[in-house]
C-alpha cells in the first residue's frame, strides 16, 4: 500500500525536511500532510486531491489511519483499499469507521449467498445506506432477477449502482418533503 520511510532513512534527506518530519519544526504551507505522506504517500495524495480538509485532519493521526487501513484489509482482503477510499473517503473518519463492521454484517445477513464483500469494495456507499431501502430498490429495478445476481450487477456496473443510489436519494428527499425541481 505504498512505501514507508524509516527514521534511519531520514539522514539522506535535507536537514530541514528531516526536522519537519520529526515534528521539531512547524509545517510550512502545503506541508501539513507530511506525517501522513511519509507513512502512506499514495493515500495522502489521494485524500489531498479528493478532500483536503479531511486529509489534513487525518494527517494528525497517521498511526490511527494505518490501523484503519489494516482493519479494512482484513475485512476486504481482495479489495483495492485505496480505490474504496477514493470512492468513499469518509470511511476513514471515526464515525463511519465505527459503523463499518456492523453495517457489513447487516448487509451480508440481508443478502445471503451474494458477494457482498465485492459489492462493498466496488460501491462502498452501500455500506452506509438503509439495507431495507436498498433491497426494495433492487427488487423494483430488476423484479425478475434473484438478489445475488442483482448484487453482482451492482458491483460490476457502476452506472446501474449510481442509478440505484440516485433513486434512494430521491426517495429520501421526497420523504423529507424536499421540493422536486420543476422543468418548464
Rounded Cα–Cα distance for residues 172 and 42 (Å): 35
Res. 132: pLDDT tops 70: yes
- Cα within 13 Å of Cα(3), Cβ side: 3
Could you report the per-residue pLDDT of 85-101, keeping only the tens digit for each? 888 888 999 999 999 99
Domain ranges of the chain: 1-89, 93-177
* 155 or 181, higher pLDDT: 155
Rounded Cα–Cα distance for residues 88 and 121 (Å): 10
Q: What is the pTM of this model?
A: 0.66
pLDDT band at 21 (very low <50, low <70, confident <90, very high): very low
pLDDT band at 75 (very low <50, low <70, confident <90, very high): very high
pLDDT band at 178 (very low <50, low <70, confident <90, very high): low
Rounded Cα–Cα distance for residues 132 and 138 (Å): 10
- Note the pLDDT of residue 31: 62
Mean pLDDT along residues 146-175 = 80
Give percent above pLDDT 90 in the chain: 12
- Note the pLDDT of residue 66: 87
Rounded Cα–Cα distance for residues 138 and 169 (Å): 14
Amino acid at each position: 500500500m505504498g512505501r514507508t520511510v524509516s527514521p534511519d532513512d531520514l539522514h539522506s534527506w535535507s536537514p530541514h525536511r528531516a526536522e519537519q518530519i520529526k515534528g521539531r519544526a512547524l509545517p510550512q504551507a502545503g506541508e501539513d500532510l507530511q506525517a501522513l505522506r511519509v507513512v502512506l504517500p499514495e493515500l495522502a495524495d489521494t485524500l489531498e486531491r479528493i478532500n483536503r480538509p479531511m486529509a489534513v485532519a487525518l494527517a494528525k493521526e497517521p498511526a490511527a489511519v494505518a490501523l484503519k487501513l489494516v482493519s479494512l484489509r482484513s475485512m476486504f482482503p481482495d479489495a483495492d483499499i485505496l480505490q474504496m477510499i477514493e470512492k468513499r473517503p469518509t470511511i476513514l473518519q471515526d464515525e463511519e469507521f465505527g459503523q463499518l463492521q456492523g453495517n457489513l454484517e447487516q448487509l451480508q445477513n440481508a443478502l445471503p449467498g451474494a458477494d457482498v464483500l465485492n459489492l462493498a469494495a466496488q460501491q462502498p456507499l452501500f455500506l452506509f445506506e438503509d439495507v431495507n431501502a436498498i433491497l426494495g430498490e433492487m427488487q423494483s429495478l430488476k423484479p425478475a432477477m434473484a438478489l445475488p445476481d442483482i448484487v453482482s450487477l451492482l458491483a460490476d456496473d457502476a452506472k446501474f449502482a449510481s442509478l440505484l443510489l440516485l433513486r434512494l436519494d430521491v426517495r429520501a428527499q421526497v420523504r423529507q418533503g424536499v421540493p422536486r425541481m420543476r422543468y418548464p
